[in-house]
Amino acid sequence: MKLVYVANSRFPSEKAQSDQVMAMCRSFAALGHEVTLLVPDRKPVQHEDPFAYYGVEPSFAFKRLPCVDAIQWLWLGRIGLWIQTSTFLWSLRKELRLLKPDVVFSRELYVFAVPGVPGKRVWESHSLHRSFWAMRIARGLDKIVTLTKASKDRLVEAGVLADRVMVEADAVDPKMFEHRYDRADVRRELGIADDVYVCLYTGKFTTMNMSKGLDESISAVGKLVDQRKNILLLAVGGTPQELERYASKVGPNVRLLGHQPQATLGKFYTVADLLLMPFPYTEHYAYYMSPLKLFEYLMSGVPMVVTDLPSVREIVSESSAIIAKPGDVDSLEASIRQAIDQPEEARKRALEAKRISAQYTWIERAKRICAILWP
């Protein structure tokens, strides 16, 4: 089958969205489908060649479509976004006429407002659009993929037929952990002593201008240092702006690093004793998110502390993670201390997390989606 994936964003970029789009296109192609990824011709990108950036062989077609990249002109505000989107959709309409795909797949709902989109129309929902216009488009789609059960429930309440919506959380590529790094060597490379307990946080420090829990992590680790714990918080994945913003908040027990390619993230998991995913409570985090790092954490075999949110609870429980209260520094501190003081129990939960990770790979996710599209 011929599948076109449409992503109206810079590609590849430092955002997790870019990683997810690449993983899904590769997985659809690995299942034997003819895949084309269409993105706008916007700058800056991490690399002109996405296959080179991700260190993989080309397995699908990739094309940048012309658009007026008015987003770069910040003084235009939302008008700049409208100009970029509308000019990209104009190019997209012409390209779809040429390609004549069997399926058009996108994370952006407005793609399906383009007149005459051919084939089955599949939207992967990452948030709820509440406008009458948006829900009218959603109700007319062939399939919708949501990341959480709560997201599906809200779409059904808005009038989307339940049998058109499937729930598929995000996933992980097992190849991330195929390379075996030597823990002592990587610690020496990073300048981390063998006896230091490392708490690892991965990913951007904020999303959609919302904190992702790094502030609470810094505070919790600081309190443990005051209790004479030999501990380091290693946060990997910040943008240059985030690194600058957080620089004044950190002491010697916190180290901040910028975005790292997926291919080299494995070495940071190698040095970690504990993984932190302390999202605060917001509607988006509680009901719509499916963070890529959660599935990396599952497969890593390293114990983790997560916060008690409905979206997180769909994936893990007390048998596979230590669970803290969202936005509560004292609870996060207590959870980290529990992992330090009860290492065997923490490792037991990590083993259970690794066991359940097998169902959360990109290829298995793509198989389940394809089974719905082509029963």
Q: At what angle do helices 329-341 and 214-226 cross, to 10 degrees?
A: 60
Up-side HSE of residue 20: CA atoms within 13 Å toward CB? 23
Query: According to the model, what pLDDT value does residue 99 have?
Result: 97
Question: Coil, helix or strand for 186?
Answer: helix
Query: According to the model, what pLDDT value does residue 20 have?
Result: 96
Angstrom distance (rounded) from CA 143 to CA 66? 28
Q: Tens place of pLDDT for every residue, the chain, 375 residues? A: 999 999 999 999 988 899 999 999 999 999 999 999 999 999 888 899 999 999 899 999 999 999 999 898 888 888 999 999 999 999 999 999 999 999 999 999 999 999 999 999 999 998 877 788 999 999 999 999 999 999 999 999 989 999 999 999 999 999 999 988 999 999 999 999 999 999 999 999 998 888 999 999 999 999 999 888 799 999 999 999 999 999 988 889 999 999 888 778 999 999 999 999 999 999 999 999 999 999 999 999 999 999 999 999 999 999 999 999 999 999 999 999 999 999 999 999 999 999 999 999 999 999 999 999 987
Angstrom distance (rounded) from CA 217 to CA 222? 8
Query: According to the model, what pLDDT value does residue 208 have?
Result: 81
Domains belonging to the chain, first-starting first, are 2-171+361-373 (3.40.50.2000), 174-359 (3.40.50.2000)
**Which tokens in the block code for residue 59?**
């397995």
The radius of gyration of the chain from alpha carbons, rounded to an integer in Å, stands at: 21
**Which tokens in the block code for residue 111?**
């793609």
Counts of helices then strands in the chain (DSSP H, E)? 15, 15
Q: Count of residues for the chain?
A: 375
Q: Return the DSSP state at 200.
A: E
Query: According to the model, what pLDDT value does residue 128 have?
Result: 76
> Phi-psi bin for 27: left (phi > 0), alpha (psi -120 to 50), beta?
alpha
Angstrom distance (rounded) from CA 128 to CA 253? 39
Query: According to the model, what pLDDT value does residue 219 have?
Result: 96
Query: According to the model, what pLDDT value does residue 9 have?
Result: 95
Prediction pTM value: 0.92
